[in-house]
Amino acid sequence: MYTRIYFLRFPKETSDQPIIYYLVKRYDVEFNILKADILPQREGIMIIEFKGNRENIREALSYLKDLEVQVERLAGKVSRDDEKCFQCGACTGICPVGALYMQRPEMAVLFDPDRCSGCGLCVTACPVRAMTVSFDQVVVEEF
């Protein structure tokens, strides 16, 4: 499963259209709205997490672009403090994309930032708060 978080800026003209509905119906992407601020006849913004097949998400994003929705990938920078982490493994049962995983047979807990979707679930699941997410950076990506 491919999970990414996007920052969408909707032009005024689109605010009365059921865009998200089409995303689900036509492109079969699961979504989770993390933040939304949309008012009729005004520019709206939304932070949304998409889950699904990579190709479908790509098509969904180009559909949004055709509607002149501005799309930016929100790459929350997730990092692990290796001094704090005591390699327990609790986070590996929580991470939905396998970015935190066990290396067997040593049972070392590894973190692969490239696989990380920035969902933040590990932050409070880690008993010693070794994982941190900062959403300060917005990475603009080409699709």
Partner 1 sequence: MSEYTVNKSYAEINARIRAGEAVVATAEEMIDIVREDGPVAAARRIDVVTTGTFSTMCSSGAFFNFGQTTPTIKAAKVWINKVQAYAGLAAIDIYLGATEPAEDDPLNKVYPGEFRYGGGHVIEDLVAGKTVLLEAKAYATDCYANTKCKKELCLADMPHALLCNPRNGYQNYNCAVNFSDKTVHTYMGTLKPKCRNANYCSAGELSPLLNDPLYRTIGLGTRIFLGGGIGYVTWHGTQHNPNVLRSSGGTPRQPAGTMMVQGDLKQMSARWLRGVSLQGYGCSLAVGLGVPIPILNEEIALFTGVSDKDIFTQVIDYGHDYTNRIQRNYGEVSYAELRSGQIKVAGKKVPTAPLSSRVKAVEIAETLKRWILDKKFQLGEPVAHFPTADFSLDDKE
Q: Point out which residues bind partner 1 (CB under 8 A).
A: 86-94, 102, 104-109, 124-125, 127-129
122 binds ligand SF4 (CB under 6 A): yes
| Residue 103: Cβ within 10 Å count | 9
User: Is residue 134 classed exposed, middle or buried when 0-12, 13-18 and 19+ CB atoms within 10 A define those classes?
Assistant: exposed
Residues 50 to 89: which contact ligand SF4 by CB under 6 A? 78, 80, 85-89
Residue 100: partners with Cβ closer than 8 Å, 6 or more residues away: 91, 92, 94, 109, 110, 111, 122, 131
121 binds ligand SF4 (CB under 6 A): yes
C-beta of 49: minimal distance to partner 1 in Å?
18
C-beta of 142: minimal distance to partner 1 in Å?
35
Q: Which is nearer to partner 1, 88 or 138 (CB)?
A: 88
